[in-house]
């Protein structure tokens, strides 16, 4: 599926995909071309893992949702970020893959949609210039 080109590009961290209604709105807006959604295999795996931990009885449904995201948003997946992960130092090492994806695409003016802004100290970004915008602000601006 090809989406409408839009210069407003957003890296979706796993935690912005909760709850389901917010996720559906985000992906619907991306599908309509209001912004270009970007995510990674690791971000989607984190979302799946966390949701399965919270709702193990919904495993079949969760796996189906994951497959549908991969199928319908295939072109949204960032590639080539993995080698950057090891060189990054963040308070939460589990967030390095997200920053690596942002670094991989930051030169194109893409942005990170992050729900836990207070958990990412600005000094940890060093010289990297990234627009970290809460999901609510991104959605309000559409």
User: At which residue do the structure tokens 């912005």 appear?
Assistant: 16
- pLDDT band at 74; cut points 50, 70, 90: very high
Task: Please compute, for residue 82, the number of CA atoms within 13 A of its CA located in the half-sphere on the CB side.
Answer: 6
Domain CATH for 32: 3.40.50
Q: Domain residues for 38? A: 9-141
Strand partners, 112: 11, 132
Residue 2: inside a domain, yes or no? no
Helix axes 59-72, 20-31, angle to 10 degrees: 20
Range in 1-5, 50-54, 57-61, 131-135 the model is least confident about = 1-5
Residue 99: inside a domain, yes or no? yes
- pLDDT band at 35; cut points 50, 70, 90: confident
pTM for the whole structure:
0.73
Number of domains observed in the structure of the chain: 1
CA dist 49 and 130 (Å) reads: 27
CA dist 94 and 106 (Å) reads: 20
Residue 108: inside a domain, yes or no? yes
Residue 40: inside a domain, yes or no? yes
Residue 3: inside a domain, yes or no? no
């Amino acid at each position: 599926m090809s989406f409408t080109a839009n210069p407003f590009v957003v890296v979706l961290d796993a935690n912005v995909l909760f709850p389901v209604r917010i996720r559906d709105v985000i992906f619907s807006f991306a599908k309509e071309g209001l912004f270009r959604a970007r995510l990674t295999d690791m971000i989607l795996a984190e979302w799946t893992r966390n949701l399965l931990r919270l709702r193990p009885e919904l495993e079949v449904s969760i796996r189906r949702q994951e497959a549908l995201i991969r199928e319908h948003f295939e072109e949204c997946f960032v590639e080539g970020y993995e080698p950057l992960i090891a060189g990054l130092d963040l308070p939460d090492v589990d967030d390095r893959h997200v920053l690596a994806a942002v670094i991989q695409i930051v030169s194109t003016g893409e942005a990170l949609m992050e729900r836990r802004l207070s958990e990412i100290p600005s000094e940890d970004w060093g010289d990297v210039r990234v627009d970290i915008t809460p999901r609510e602000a991104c959605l309000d601006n559409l």
